Chain A
Amino acid sequence: EVQLVESGGGLVKPGGSLRLSCAASGFTFSNAWMSWVRQAPGKGLEWVGRIKSKADGGTTDYTAPIKGRFTISRDDSKNTLYLQMNSLKTEDTAVYYCHYYRDSSGYHYDYWGQGTLVTVSS
């Protein structure tokens, strides 16, 4: 059974940092293309970024508002996806989801974590 379990959310002051983790199981994580999607309270979805599998270059792409502040990485030995968030702003307050959406062979999936709430407030 595919599972994605996020952790690391919480309350942080503006300007602070936080690292989210997404522990994956039930599939070959090293082949996975993964993304982070966030949703501010009562608002729509916002694409944060994605990371390809190492076989496909392991490259990352980010949305403009977080570029330079957030970094997506992966540890295939731990089957874990990360989102390092620095210089946090109040507008980064949201539920953050990790999303497994395709693999190196081009096959598409649709598995989501339960979401972890990040609150940026003084």
Chain B
Amino acid sequence: QAVVTQEPSLTVSPGGTVTLTCGSSTGAVTSGHFPYWFQQKPGQAPRTLIYDTSNKHSWTPARFSGSLLGGKAALTLSGAQPEDEAEYYCLLSYGGAGVFGGGTKLTVL
């Protein structure tokens, strides 16, 4: 089974910009992996921020954006807010079967 890698932790200053990445052990991440990005806060169910690389749900704050960058999927947060402190998970599809990354704990400090 493929392994999906994320930065274990990142820190961003309030108002700052940070990019979280999502790599695949099988090679470059492409749109064919249909990358998803989820945010999870303690004690809560996850919620989807981004699907299919760069598509947002209606509730996704405009400061979040998804892309492909350097062979990885990327989630960029521009203008971080204290409420963005959370765990972020990417999910890649491999022929229909999904694999989550290990998650990135984002601290806003």
Q: Does A46 contact B (CB under 8 A)?
A: yes
Complex Cα distance, B45 from A115, in Å, reads 8
Q: B46 touches which one: A37, A50, A65 (CB < 8 A)?
A: A37
Cβ of A65: which chain B residues have Cβ within 8 Å of it?
1
A83 to B98, CA, bound (A): 16
A residues in contact with B87, CB < 8 Å = 44
Contact A45 B45 (CB under 8 A): no
Whether the pair A61, B97 counts as a contact (CB closer than 8 A) is yes
21 example contacts (A-B, Cβ-Cβ < 8 A) are as follows: A37-B46, A44-B87, A44-B89, A44-B100, A44-B101, A44-B102, A45-B89, A46-B100, A47-B98, A61-B96, A61-B97, A64-B1, A64-B97, A97-B46, A101-B48, A101-B51, A108-B52, A110-B47, A110-B57, A113-B45, A114-B45
Q: Could you say which of B38, B55, B97 contacts A45, with CB atoms under 8 Å apart? A: B38
A110 touches B97 (CB 8 A): no
Tell me if B99 counts as interface (CB < 8 A to partner A). Answer: yes
Set of chain A residues within 8 Å of B45, measured between Cβ atoms:
97, 112-115
